[in-house]
Amino acid sequence: MKKLINSVESVLEESLNGFARAHSNIIQFNHQPNYVSRKNKSENKVALISGGGAGHEPLHTGLVGKGMLDAACPGQVFTSPTPDQMLMAAQAVENGAGVLFIVKNYAGDVMNFEIAAEMLDCPHETVLVNDDVSLPKDHSTGRRGVAGTLIVEKIVGAAAEAGADLATCKQLGDKVVNSTASMGVALTSCTVPALGQPTFDISDNEVEMGVGIHGERGREVMSLTTADELVQILAKAIDEDLKPAKEQCALLHINGFGATPLMELYLVYDSAAQFFEERGIKIVRSLVGNYTTSLDMAGCSITLTLMDDEMLQYWDAPVHTAALRWGI
């Protein structure tokens, strides 16, 4: 294992310290329990809180700031944050308009956010993100929440910033989730520092189709083929799930898993955009880069969100976070 760390035990704390130093004008870092919150608290605004295991950076800590999250709770690598982190973060940022938890659909995240919500003494709601179409809708644990989470956090964050109430933010979040589908492919596994070796074995001439963001195995192992052919598989699954109408406006997000260069991600974007445009879908917004990563995994995911005028307005609204910023 080759990693720029001092010790397995200290890597998360030291990384969060560095993040807080680098972005001290935007966020502040609370130690024990760990959470990151906006530096300038807005009054009487719905507070948005998300979180999950470390290793997906910049999700979620890099999305704390004006126009997105009010707080993010990082757990250990690929491990859910604890209820006390979520509760303390919520109490720190709640300012009279209630709390909206944005939760990726993983058993540990769901359970711990539910426990925190039960202990929270203020109005609260939860948006559950389950955009991974590599799993069937009737899967025993439901579909996983993956790269579509960022899109939910951006659109709902802008609505909250504009003064939308808790019920409206919850309704909008559910609408974005229902309009979003994602699927990914891995070229390599990833190495969790505490494990010291790749999460799964994959040969140089294989890819993992439908991989999760925690190094989980996908729906099948396939032979490595061209980018266009891999995109066809991913985009077809998304298209069949969302069933977009012709002339439907959409946001296309190509998300890198951490070790794939932008040159390749933009190639994937071009191929995916052609796929959807040939089917009459209008790609009106885009996002390309490493946003929901899986440590040092090579590969990417494709996310399509079907957009209406309200969602476009909130996507375009000003945002100022470590990872996303425009209109400021």
Catalytic pick among 23, 56, 60, 253? 56
CA distance 135 to 212: 10
49 CB neighbour count, 10 Å cutoff: 31
Q: Please indicate whether residue 320 is annotated as part of the active site.
A: no
How far is residue 151's CA from residue 312's CA, in Å, rounded to a whole number? 11
Q: Which residues 6+ apart lie within 8 Å of 82 measured at CB?
A: 33, 75, 112
Please tell me which residue in 23, 60, 124, 214 is annotated as part of the active site: 214
Half-sphere exposure (Cβ direction) of 93: Cα atoms closer than 13 Å: 34
Write out the two tokens for 56.
């997906």
254: which strand partners?
288, 302
Minimal CA–CA distance to 252: which of 233, 228, 268?
268
Provide the H-helix boundaries in 76-146. 83-93, 107-119
139 is catalytic: no
Which residues are marked as active site? 56, 214
